[in-house]
Structure 1
Amino acid sequence: MSSLLIFLCGIRVAQGADYWPYFKLYMGINKYVKWDKVFNADIEVTYVIISKILGYFKMPFFALLFIFGLISVSLKTYTYYKYSPYPMLSLMYFFMPSYFFSDSGHIRQAVSIAFCLYSYQYIEQRKLLKFLICVFIGYYFHKTSLIFIPAYWITRLNLSTFSCFLIIIFAIIISPFKPYLIFENLFSNISSDLISEATGGFYSYRSLEGTGWGLNDIVKLIFITILLVNDKYICNTTTNPNYKMIRNLVVTYYFLFYSLRENSIFSIRLPTVYGDFWTILIAMIIKYSKNSYRIMIYYFLVVYIYLMSWRFWTNSVALGFDKMSTIFSENVDIKYFIPYEFINEN
């Protein structure tokens, strides 16, 4: 199944958020960016390097999509099979809708998140250097991976079920005060090139308004309820130490999401790397919860995925997925996607 998802990442045409902006970047990088300027191209260096290498060999844009899909989906799949008690269930949860929005949409952040997921094994093994290497590789795909650095210590917190509840409530309470603005003073006093690059997005999005409360929050509250209702029993009965560690990461997701609610970009994009651990945690909850809850949660998740698929259809039209246009479609000219203008490196 993972091979099919990777294949679809590479052959899609005009499908997914940012498809055409990524395509224009691919063409523009080969046309305007010299090799000695790859670190100054105002976009993550990995995208520039991969674009220039593929452009040098006159490879079409689909090759870049395939490479990003290969890295992202394979690393995520590896993590699911290593830590999820039901890896196929986790893969199904990932497929709808993360695969369409991230791996077939925001491909740079998708790869960045994949490296953070992959780095979890080094959190488990307490290998800080290898963990940081993974996170910083992810940083050069998308800067939001830096927010995952505290995960190394968050996983070791001995949080009770009630503490998790209080953390989420606290996040909701402080949300109107826009706590993310405290980083403004912090960033202004940082001279590190690495960190200062990451602040560019902060200043670009800091004034955006939140999206308000809606159906998405009802779904989140249901998942929070499922987590909290089963958490104490699982903590007392399971011998899997990864449950509590991954539970802490998911609680961190909810803390970041609700505390950043006043900003639509921060609340969605920044916590995503923590939220992607739900794919593993939901399988753990089904596996380790009481028998009386297990079947109910399983069927709820199946219905949720079905309803998500149904709801996604409205957005799929705008994102191009309803047409399922690929490189094999009759009206697709492969030559259009191959760079034909290159900057003079001399």
Structure 2
Amino acid sequence: MVFYIVLWSMMAIYSFFDLTDLKYNLKKNLIFWGAILCTFLGGIRDKVGTDWEQYYYFFMGYNTYNEFFNGVYPYEYGYLWLNYLIKIITDQYNIFLLIFTGIICFFKYKLIVKLAPLPLIVFLLNFSYYKGDIFSVRQSLAISIIVFSLIYIVKKDLWKFLIIVLIATFFHRTSIIFLPAYWIYHKSFSTKNIVLLIGISILIGNSGLIEYIVNIFLGIDATVINKLAGYMENSGEGYEVVGYIGIFLAILKKIFFIFIFTVVKSKLSEKYFCYNGLYNFFCFSCFIYFLFLFSIPEVSLRIIVYYNFFEIFLLSMLIGYFNNNILRIITWLILVLYSGIYFYYALNRYYELYVPYNSIFSL
């Protein structure tokens, strides 16, 4: 655990420089080397992280085109091609991990240095939320491609946005849920409408209507869909592990964040050109979350991750709400504390799978 504490502490120290007059190019360099470090750690890991065996044996067990593309694993074609092409070059799984993690860190690095007003704080929050992408899986790659598309949403380049979303679906089919993002970002919603939509989603989500609709149109119980989603992913990170207490705390967190982001919206939307659009993303993710949480939570949690990512941008912008340096530092300290708690919780959910960190160089 000491290894992770040292890593996180380094990122936390980096983030303080966002409160200083450090030149942006130097901040970019810090993020670049931080991304290189995460890529390296993701590449040399050994028997550590969720779903290790599943992905390891998939890569090592197959060699030919037919084996990869006609096997028993229900993976998307993009991921199959990536495995197959790297396997042609080398049978070293850690080379695959190095390339795989590198692609993820590249897309996130490009997005953060391009659009984040406080990039080092966003980098810290990304490290805390996603464990630095060191233990990435298929959906991690899809997320990194999807969030990169924000650059083209901002530029109002619809075709490039659609192409990137299409590419992401070749690595995880749930990426298709991000298609409405282009229009959601540029839409203007009043606070009244946001509150109304969130309220409606909570009422419908608790009414049992979603389960009823699923039953009528698909002829199967909603709980079956929920289990099927987990089975199709072969993933250990399911709803049951989070538990009802975790779900309750997540609901409280989302309601609290909606309140905070709404209170500061008028000022921050003037200061940061992308605040309104990212605020819309967060509210939309809450709408989906509350709508499906009590009927098909596994599906709900998987489809909102693409919109949820931008929560870290909104959190970093809270510092910009204050002009007083003392208040800015206090806000930064709160964000650092929150990110540390989040990181600790993320590791402890699957403690035995993350701790200790093992690498190919471990004795």
TM-score of the aligned structures, taking structure 1 as reference length: 0.80
Aligned to 1:343: none
Residue 188 of structure 2 is matched in structure 1 by 158
Q: Which has the higher contact order (CA 8 A, sep 6+)?
A: 1
Aligned mates of 1:180, 1:69 — CA distance in 2:
38
Alpha-carbon distance in structure 2 between the residues aligned to 1:69 and 1:95? 13
CA distance in 2: counterparts of 1:328 and 1:206, whole angstroms: 33
1:21 is matched with 54
Separation in structure 1 between the aligned mates of residue 344 and residue 227 of structure 2, nearest angstrom: 36
| Contact 2:38–2:134 under 8 Å retained in 1 | no
Structure 1 CA distance for aligned equivalents of residues 82 and 267 of structure 2 = 48
**Runs (5+) with no aligned partner, structure 2:** 1-33, 232-237
Aligned to 1:174: 204
Q: Which moved more, 1:56-65 or 1:215-224?
A: 215-224
Following superposition, the deviation at residue 165 of structure 1 comes to 2.6
Question: Could you tell me which of 201, 204, 208 is aligned with 2:228?
Answer: 204
CA contact (8 A) 2:42 2:135 kept: no
Contact 1:111 1:141 in 2 (8 A): yes
Whether the 8 Å CA contact 1:11–1:326 is kept in 2: the answer is: yes
Equivalent positions of 1:107-146 (< 5 A) are 107-146=137-176
Distance across 2 between alignment mates of 1:305 and 1:133 = 33
Cα offsets for 1:89-109 (capped at 9, x unmatched): 001001013136xx3445211
- What CA RMSD, in Å, does the superposition of the two structures yield over aligned residues? 3.0
Q: What is the CA–CA distance in structure 2 between the aligned matches of 1:174 and 1:293, rounded to whole Å?
A: 40
Q: Residue 222 of structure 1 aligns to which amino acid in structure 2? A: F
Q: Distance in 2 between matches of 1:20 and 1:131?
A: 34
The 5 Å alignment of 1:1-346 reads 1-30=34-63, 33-34=66-67, 37=69, 42-99=74-131, 103-176=133-206, 177=208, 179=210, 182=213, 204-205=228-229, 211-212=243-244, 213-235=247-269, 237-238=270-271, 240-262=272-294, 263-288=296-321, 291=324, 294-319=328-353, 321-330=354-363
Measure how far apart 1:20 and its partner are: 1.0
Question: Shift in Å at residue 134 of structure 1?
Answer: 0.4
Take 2:358 and 2:315, find their aligned partners in 1: how far apart are those partners? 33
Q: 1:171 to 1:163 in 2, by over 3 A?
A: same
Aligned AA (2:348): T
8 Å contact kept, 2:101–2:136: no
AA aligned opposite 1:126: K
Q: Distance in 2 between matches of 1:22 and 1:219?
A: 33
Structure 2 distance, partners of 1:38, 1:280, is: 41
* Amino acid corresponding to residue 84 of structure 1 in structure 2: A
CA distance in 1, matches of 2:328, 2:201: 29
Q: Say whether the 8 Å CA contact 1:287–1:294 is kept in structure 2.
A: yes
Paired AA for residue 289 in structure 2:
F
> Are the equivalent residues in 2 in contact too, given 1:83–1:280 (CA < 8 A)?
no
**2:176 alignment partner, SS class:** helix
Matching residue's letter, 1:179: I
Distance 1:316 1:28, change over 3 A: same
Gaps of at least 5 residues in structure 1 are: 189-199, 331-346
Matches of 2:160 and 2:335, distance apart in 1: 34
Change (3 A) 1:186 1:218: same
Q: In structure 2, do the counterparts of structure 1 residues 244 and 39 end up closer, same or farther at CA, with 3 Å as the change threshold?
A: farther
CA contact (8 A) 1:165 1:228 kept: no
Matched residue count: 313
Q: Is the 8 A contact 2:226 2:297 kept in 1?
A: no
Distance 2:278 2:95 in 1: 34
Give percent identity, aligned residues only: 27
- TM score, norm. by length of structure 2: 0.77
Q: Tell me, in whole angstroms, the C-alpha distance in 2 between the residues paired with 1:163 and 1:286.
A: 26
Equivalent residues of 1:138, 1:145 under 8 A apart: yes
Distance verdict in 2 for CA 1:27–1:265, change over 3 Å? same
